[in-house]
Amino acid sequence: MTRLNYHHLYYFWRVAKQGNLTATAEKLAISQSALSSQINQLEHSIGQPLFAREGRTLVLTELGHTVLNYAEDIFQRGEELQQLLKRGVTTLPSLRIGMLSSMSRNFIESFIEPLLSNAARDAGASFRLLARPQPELLDLLAQHQIDVVLTNREVSVSDDVAWQSQLLSRQPLSVIAPASRTDLPDHISPAYRAQQWVVPGSASPLRTAFEGFCTQHQLEPDIIAEVDDMAMLRLLARDSGALAAMPAVVVRDELRSGILSKRFELPNAFENFYAVTLSRKFQHPLLPELLQFPQHQPTTKDA
């Protein structure tokens, strides 16, 4: 593929958003044939069609949808830069935050809380959240499509990219039970043997820690569900009636309302939360404050 022509990409973006070649040509004050030629050149450089015709209507192909998503980000960032240069440093671009799809939503909410303050809003702060698998998030970070990645998995060392991984928090793995289970004490005991459990998936280091704990204390758990997604694990802990092994921050609201109760923490078992960035000359101005790990972040005591 030849080097991407952003002039051609811009014309594609306008047509894709408008959905009509003639109307877009009128808005851009160019001929329809000239506009069509620009898009044809883009498709030729890519080697695949971006539009398919259905009667008189232009419909995006699967690749066209992908290219449109990138074009949206490219030209939105360009507009933000234009506004920044026009108005000065008081205008902030959106902070683009990538998060691992399976992470605790309560932790994410705590991380972005400073961006929701009145002071941040008055300063024009805004942000975008993007949930994806970790490999895709790291690719987007390497391509400067996002500013930071939030993950609970360690990032592998790469010869190609110098990741900067910062530990934000360590949340203890806890035993969570329905508040109605008054027969279960706040410490490990024979009462926990042969109980039903919902637990993290087998690929999670939390699952390894839980299984080691069960082996040590001969618990023989009856695992009725194993879940990679923390939001789903939270729902099962709340509604299944089973015990759960998870960080207390995941069910913070249920603990506060009294639906669930934290019985005890497993020794030396933690879920680690990381912020992954790249070394850049121009970092987003809001990012350093967030990476200081604000004091309001929930602990197991107030979860």
Ordered by start, the domain boundaries in the chain are 6-74, 95-169+274-290, 171-270
Write down the pLDDT at residue 293.
Answer: 55
Structure-token pair, residue 120: 């941040």
Out of 78-82, 113-117, 130-134, least confident range: 78-82
Half-sphere exposure at residue 297, Cβ-oriented, CA atoms within 13 angstroms: 16
The region of weakest confidence among 1-5, 87-91, 120-124, 218-222 is: 87-91
pLDDT at 84: 60
CA 48 to chain centre: 30
Give the CA angle between residues 224, 229, 235 to the nearest 5°.
Answer: 60
Tell me which fold the domain 171-270 belongs to: D-Maltodextrin-Binding Protein; domain 2 (3.40.190)
Task: Using alpha carbons only, give the angle 65, 68, 69 rounded to the nearest 5 degrees.
Answer: 90
* Predicted local distance difference test score (pLDDT) of residue 18: 84
Per-residue pLDDT at 85: 66
- pLDDT for the residue 81: 67
- Which residues are CB-neighbours of 131 under 8 A, at least 6 positions away? 98, 99, 100, 101
Of 150, 93, 163, 130, residue with least CA distance to 293? 150
- State the Cα–Cα distance between residues 224 and 211, nearest whole angstrom: 14
pLDDT at residue 162, rounded to an integer: 77
The answer to whether domain 6-74 and domain 95-169+274-290 are alike in fold is no
pLDDT of residue 259: 96
Do residues 67 and 99 make contact, with C-beta atoms less than 8 angstroms apart? no
| Residue 87: other Cβ atoms inside 10 A | 10
Cα–Cα–Cα angle for 78, 82, 88, rounded to 5 degrees: 135
Q: Per residue in 85-130, pLDDT tens?
A: 665 555 567 899 999 988 888 889 989 988 888 777 766 778 999 9
Segment (H or E) for 138:
helix 134-142
Q: Could you tell me the two tokens for 256?
A: 């506060």
Q: How far apart are CA 192 and CA 210, in angstroms?
A: 13
Beta carbons of 262 and 173 less than 8 angstroms apart: no
pLDDT band at 300 (very low <50, low <70, confident <90, very high): very low
The arithmetic mean of pLDDT across residues 219-224, rounded, is 94
Largest Cα span, the chain:
80
- Give the mean pLDDT of the chain: 86
Average pLDDT over residues 128-152: 90
Lowest mean pLDDT among 18-27, 49-58, 285-294: 285-294
Stronger pLDDT, 88 or 29, i.e. the higher one? 29
Closest by CA position to 111, among listed 164, 147, 135:
147
Mean pLDDT across 143-161? 83
Task: Please give the pLDDT value at position 1.
Answer: 55
Fold of 95-169+274-290: D-Maltodextrin-Binding Protein; domain 2 (3.40.190)
Determine the number of helices (DSSP H) and then strands (DSSP E) in the chain. 11, 10
User: pTM of the entire structure?
Assistant: 0.64
What are the tens digits of pLDDT across the range 243-277? 999 999 999 999 999 999 999 999 989 999 999 99
Helix, strand, or coil (residue 26): helix
CATH code at 6-74: 1.10.10.10
Residue 77 pLDDT more than 80?
A: no
From CA 242, how far away is CA 239, in angstroms rounded?
A: 8
Among residues of the chain, what percentage have pLDDT more than 70? 89
51: enclosing H helix or E strand: strand 51-54
Question: In terms of residues, how long is the chain?
Answer: 303
Exposed / middle / buried, residue 301 (Cβ in 10 Å: 0-12, 13-18, 19+) = exposed
Per-residue model confidence as pLDDT tens digits over 161-205: 778 899 998 999 999 999 999 999 999 999 999 899 999 998 888
In whole angstroms, what is the distance from residue 134 CA to residue 272 CA? Answer: 15
